């Protein structure tokens, strides 16, 4: 089928939850994807920071093929070898001692919220139920995680929302100090706000949040669903600040393109999730864990983190040069290969996204006025140069 046939069929049977672009992508390889009519695009969005190794990376493809012919699913009533090996690898390269696997970032954040409340009850402080999160944050689409999200637009029509959530301005230490008190179970923050406009906090913000939680008895949860697994040039973005959370959530880039989420926690915290407290039928099944193992090993063993740092610096510098003297761009910010271009005045990000697609480039948005770039971590300078040439025409 061609693009139009696929779109016509979709209009008859899919729930209209997405404002999709008029293109159907059917094949990918590395930095490139092709639509149903055969047109090629350079992908600078990577499935929204999912395909960190690009499309159909040979290590990931081979791992999936081998596992698919061996064992697809048995449930967590039994031990699962790829799951155990992936958990061990994640604990070796992060702060965490224990891992719980699920299927998405929203599920991971839901699990983190449950775990934080359970920890406080186990500590003998059942009054600590409140989750403090930041305005302009995004944590998922379940009832609890959309309530934790600091953006009203995702909550419209879903009342009544669960109680126990409060919000403070992002990157505001004083507001955080005022909000964290005897009823606070945890502070939930993104090391870099993705959907909120690729907002990088000030130096020391995360460290102060860590200190504040320690002093006042709250847990620190870092939502690394978008920033984790190498996206910012370190395996976890919080490593840039030398901060170790109590709980961290991963998803997007973890599986190399297949759906998997994870809740990482310290031993002291993880022990509150005993048998029967939390579960997932498909979470950590053999297939997705095999894909994630191949993804994480490749990132760690083939110099991908260092490459991400170099390419991120190059892209940010070139974008800063492009913005200089162009009043249509008010700011360029980001870390590693998660970068936002904020447009000035009444210019809309969706117009830039559409214009770039017309030129054969896939980019995204993060709010109405921020163009988001989150390319595969394998991007090369010549591909960045091609993007910049097209972007210069558009802006």
Strand 219-223, strand 247-250: pairing: parallel
Phi, psi of 375 (to 5 degrees): -70, 165
Q: What is the rounded distance in angstroms from the CA atom of residue 320 to the CA atom of residue 325? A: 10
User: Residue 135 CA to chain centroid, in angstroms?
Assistant: 17
Contact 257, 47 (CB under 8 A): yes
* Joined tokens for residue 133: 């999160």
Catalytic residue positions? 138, 223, 252
Q: What is the rounded distance in angstroms from the CA atom of residue 160 to the CA atom of residue 109? A: 20
Single out the residue of 333, 329, 336, 327 nearest to residue 369, CA to CA: 329
Sheet holding 25-29, edge to edge: 25-29, 32-35, 40-43, 361-362
Q: What is the rounded distance in angstroms from the CA atom of residue 108 to the CA atom of residue 357? A: 32
SS3 content of the chain, % helix, strand, coil (to 5): 40, 20, 40
What is the secondary structure of 128-180 as a DSSP string?
Answer: --EEEEEBT----SSHHHHHHSB-GGGTTT-PSPPS-EEEE-TT-HHHHHHH-
What is the secondary structure of 213-245 as a DSSP string?
Answer: HHHHT-EEEEE-TTTTTTTTSSSSGGGGGT---
The three-class DSSP label of residue 333 is strand
């Amino acid at each position: 089928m061609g693009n139009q046939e696929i779109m016509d069929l979709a209009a008859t049977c899919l729930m209209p939850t997405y404002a999709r672009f008029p293109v159907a992508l059917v094949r990918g390889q590395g930095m490139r994807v092709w639509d149903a009519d055969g047109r090629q695009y350079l992908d600078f969005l990577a499935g929204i920071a999912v395909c960190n190794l690009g499309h159909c990376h040979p290590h990931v493809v081979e791992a999936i093929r081998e596992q698919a012919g061996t064992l697809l699913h048995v449930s967590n009533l039994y031990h699962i070898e790829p799951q155990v090996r992936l958990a061990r690898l994640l604990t070796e390269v992060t702060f965490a001692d224990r891992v719980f696997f699920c299927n998405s970032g929203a599920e991971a954040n839901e699990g983190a919220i449950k775990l934080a409340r359970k920890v406080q009850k186990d500590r003998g402080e059942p009054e600590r139920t409140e989750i403090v999160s930041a305005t302009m944050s995004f944590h998922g689409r379940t009832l609890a995680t959309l309530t934790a999200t600091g953006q009203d637009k995702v909550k419209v029509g879903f009342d009544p929302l669960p109680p126990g959530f409060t919000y403070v301005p992002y990157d505001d230490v004083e507001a955080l100090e005022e909000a964290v008190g005897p009823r606070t179970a945890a502070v939930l923050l993104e090391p870099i706000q993705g959907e909120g406009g690729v907002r990088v906090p000030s130096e020391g913000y995360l460290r102060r949040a860590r200190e504040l939680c320690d002093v006042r008895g709250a847990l620190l949860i870092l939502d690394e669903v978008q920033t984790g697994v190498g996206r910012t040039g370190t395996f976890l973005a919080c490593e840039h600040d030398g901060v170790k959370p109590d709980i961290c959530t991963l998803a997007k880039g973890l599986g190399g393109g297949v759906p998997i989420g994870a809740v990482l926690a310290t031993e002291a915290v993880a022990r509150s999730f005993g048998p029967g407290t939390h579960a997932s039928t498909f979470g950590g099944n053999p297939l997705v864990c095999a894909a994630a193992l191949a993804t994480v090993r490749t990132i760690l063993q083939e110099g991908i983190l260092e490459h991400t740092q170099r390419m991120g610096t190059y892209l940010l510098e070139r974008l800063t040069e492009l913005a200089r003297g162009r009043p249509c761009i008010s700011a360029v910010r980001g870390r590693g290969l998660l970068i936002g271009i904020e447009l000035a005045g009444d210019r809309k990000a969706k117009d830039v996204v559409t214009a770039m697609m017309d030129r054969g480039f896939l980019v995204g948005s993060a709010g109405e006025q921020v163009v988001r770039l989150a390319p595969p971590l394998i991007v090369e300078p010549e591909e960045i140069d091609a993007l910049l040439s097209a972007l210069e025409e558009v802006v």
